[in-house]
Amino acid sequence: MNRNTLDIVRRVLLTSRMAVGMGASIVAAGALRAHAQIPGAPILQNAWATPGLVGALNFGGGSDGSVYAAAASWSPASGRFQLSGGGGGQTRSGKGSRGVYGVRVAIPFGAAQGSFGFAAFAGLGGGSGGTSAFPDSISSTTEVPIGVGIGWRHAIGANHGLSVYGTPAYVLFSGGSKNGSLFRGSLGSDVGITPSLGATVGVEFGGTRPRGYGGPSGTIFGLGVSYAFGRR
């Protein structure tokens, strides 16, 4: 090869490496959090799914009490849908504690490498009953959120990123002694610390229910740390 040809090859290789790095950072800016509908934690749904298996430790809290939970999600290599589930313990102010669980399915739309996106989702969450600390109206309440996640993400370097998103949702409550529904909204942010490690912070607000009926009676805050298993 002459010198001009070698220069062209070097430029092509450099451009390819930059494109690969940008792709990795865009993925890191996406959703590393395992989203599951667990009562007492904010309803947060990013607009993208991380392919493979992701595990997370989450904390949620507000005026009603707090919840500690572990969650996991799985998405195929295409990232066209995401299945999530989790469980933990919830402590409500003045009413003792109980076990809680949640499951969710989300379907992202838009370009996998795009900066803007949205996803539709539906979930199911509830908790154990049969304790004096939780009367029937609370312990039997089931939550069913249906909504969308609308997000924006930005690459930071080759392997890091930041995404912010909003999650408007219509939440149905059934069981116990009082059925009902609420409109709730959440704002969240996912940070890709490494290609595998992520952190989440979020807040949920909107319609409320009396504490005796179960469901949110105020603003809920949440924190999470997640890890994507497998080579990234």
At 6, give phi and psi (nearest 5°). Answer: -65, -40
Q: Which two tokens stand for residue 82?
A: 């995401």
Residues 144 and 123: their CA atoms lie apart, in Å, by 5
User: What global pTM score does this model have?
Assistant: 0.81
pLDDT tens-place string over residues 26-50: 444 555 567 788 999 999 999 988 8
Fold for 3-228, please state it.
Porin (2.40.160)
DSSP string, 86-99: EEEEEEETTS-EEE
Q: Are 125 and 21 in contact (CB under 8 A)?
A: no
pLDDT tens-place string over residues 110-165: 777 788 999 999 999 998 764 444 444 444 578 999 999 999 998 887 777 899 99
Opening angle at CA 82, ends 55 and 173, nearest 5 = 95
Opening angle at CA 34, ends 46 and 126, nearest 5 = 100
b/e 21-49 (16+ beta carbons within 10 angstroms → b): eeebbbbbbbbbbbbbbbbbbbbbbbbbb
pLDDT at 217: 87
pLDDT at 33: 65
Residues 131 and 96: their CA atoms lie apart, in Å, by 9
Collapsed DSSP state (helix, strand, coil) of residue 156: strand
The residue extents of the domains of the chain are 3-228
